[in-house]
Amino acid sequence: MGNMIKLKGALNPLPTLTWNFLKLNQVDVDWDIDLNRRGDMIIQNIPRGVSVKMNGGILDNVSGAAGSLTTELMEKEKVETLGIRVEAGVCAEVPLKLNYVLGEGDGMLRRQEIVAYEGSEVTVAMDYTAGRTESGFFGIQTKLLAKKGSIIRLIKTNLLGDKYLHFEDIAGIAEDGARIELIEMELGGGKNYIGTGIELSGAKSSFVGNVGYLCRGQKIMDMNYLVRHTGRKSESSFKLRGAMRDSSIKNFRGTIDFRRGAKGAKGDEQEESILLSRDVRNKTLPIILCDEEDVEGTHGANIGRLSEDVLFYMGSRGIEKSEVEALMTKAKLDSVRRLISDQVTQGRIQQFMEEALDHA
């Protein structure tokens, strides 16, 4: 039997408020969740110099963009933290893989931390999988601390079932000269609430984010990304690419927050989305907050239907419109998929996309 819990409150709050009519200031949730703690986590390829164990978290003070509700839930449900520590100077060549395998009706909460000590480098790949039409719940919180000169590369592949309720809370800090890279493929799930907050506190620290998404069917994709620049000469670059079809809903909030003192900081955020159905609803809110003079912030967005030029060009090669749409969707997502080196994950993504686009 299950363990019904209530999750009530706000997710993905905006760092600054705007008009209420836009309904982007936060997401009010009131969910009854069957937290039966079924679902598995399988850890593969623990590299030399990397330790993985269940213990108390040390990054309690690190918070991201998903709001306090997720942390409150983790505490209340006493979810243990999986601690991943990368020793100083260690360069882990093979990615550490965390496979989250879920099935019909599963409900799981997970909490993990990655601490990369001075000068180390690690890649952690998280694959979330469930059957394509399955329902369930998966909530996960990942905290990152990249110490001086280290690199953390976090890869997330969401291949959950169409009726899955999923929230993600990623919060990270990069110290002097450290770098956090995020590669995210948001393909599955029914209702997805993704909150990612990265603080570039160190001098010359950096963040590179590449997110690919596919919204189809009745899917809801609610995203709140925040990059806070507090370190001098810190740099961030964020790219969101994807496609929307059927009657899916996407809310994308992306904020670059330049705090006073972040002299010489640079931040860039770009979105490219193609809309493939009359019934989609896309909201985009790209925010720049600037409390420092000596910075460069840029934003760009390109959202809309496939261009006539593309359709005509492809048409002149005998390709039908529906096929052009599938091709262009793949092209958008492939630009992110290619950043993932793991062959198994690549294969899973490929298979998921073929099915998803076939059943469109």
Helix runs in 168-274, H state only? none
Is position 10 an interface residue for other proteins (rule: CB under 8 A)? no
Q: How far apart (Å, rounded) are the C-alpha atoms in residues 337 and 184?
A: 9
Smallest gap from residue 339 Cβ to other proteins (A): 25
> How many chain residues are in contact with other proteins, going by CB under 8 A?
43
Q: Map residues 318-357 to x or -, x wherever contact with other proteins holds by CB under 8 A.
A: ----------------------------------------
Q: Give SS3 for 358.
A: helix
Phi then psi dihedrals of residue 217, to 5 deg: 60, -135
Is position 247 an interface residue for other proteins (rule: CB under 8 A)? no
Q: Are 102 and 136 in contact (CB under 8 A)?
A: yes
The DSSP call for residue 307 is P
Q: Map residues 277-316 to x or -, x wherever contact with other proteins holds by CB under 8 A.
A: xxxxxxxxxxxxxxxxxxxxxxxxxxxxx-----------
Helix/strand/coil percentages in the chain, nearest 5 = 15, 50, 35
Q: Are 89 and 197 in contact (CB under 8 A)?
A: no
Distance between the two ends of the chain, CA-based, in angstroms? Answer: 35
Query: Which lies closer to other proteins via its Cβ, residue 25 or residue 45?
Result: 25
Smallest gap from residue 356 Cβ to other proteins (A): 18
Among 6, 8, 260, 321, binds other proteins (CB under 8 A): 260
Query: Which lies closer to other proteins via its Cβ, residue 58 or residue 288?
Result: 288
Q: Map residues 22-61 to x or -, x wherever contact with other proteins holds by CB under 8 A.
A: x-xx------------------------------------
Residue whose pair of structure tokens reads 């690690």 in the numeric block: 122
Q: How far apart (Å, rounded) are the C-alpha atoms in residues 35 and 137?
A: 8
Tokens of 302: 């390109």
Query: Which lies closer to other proteins via its Cβ, residue 199 or residue 271?
Result: 271
Stretch that binds other proteins, among 14-22, 133-141, 313-321, 326-334 (CB under 8 A): 14-22
Query: Which lies closer to other proteins via its Cβ, residue 81 or residue 224?
Result: 224
Q: Which helix (H) or strand (E) holds 310?
A: helix 308-316
Query: Which lies closer to other proteins via its Cβ, residue 295 or residue 336?
Result: 295
Using alpha carbons, list the distances in angstroms from residue 118 to 114, 216, 254: 13, 42, 29
Smallest gap from residue 88 Cβ to other proteins (A): 28
Smallest gap from residue 22 Cβ to other proteins (A): 5
In one-letter notation, the amino acid at residue 23 is: K
Smallest gap from residue 105 Cβ to other proteins (A): 34
In one-letter notation, the amino acid at residue 321 is: K
Q: How far apart (Å, rounded) are the C-alpha atoms in residues 196 and 70?
A: 12
Q: How far apart (Å, rounded) are the C-alpha atoms in residues 10 and 303?
A: 28
Smallest gap from residue 282 Cβ to other proteins (A): 4
For residue 332, the Cα-to-chain-centroid distance in whole angstroms is 16
Smallest gap from residue 20 Cβ to other proteins (A): 8
Tokens of 190: 């029914």
Q: Are 255 and 284 in contact (CB under 8 A)?
A: no
Q: Map residues 185-204 to x or -, x wherever contact with other proteins holds by CB under 8 A.
A: --------------------
Among 65, 66, 165, 275, binds other proteins (CB under 8 A): 275
Is position 182 an interface residue for other proteins (rule: CB under 8 A)? no
Is position 94 an interface residue for other proteins (rule: CB under 8 A)? no
| Binding region for other proteins (CB under 8 A) | 16-22, 24-25, 258, 260, 263, 275-305
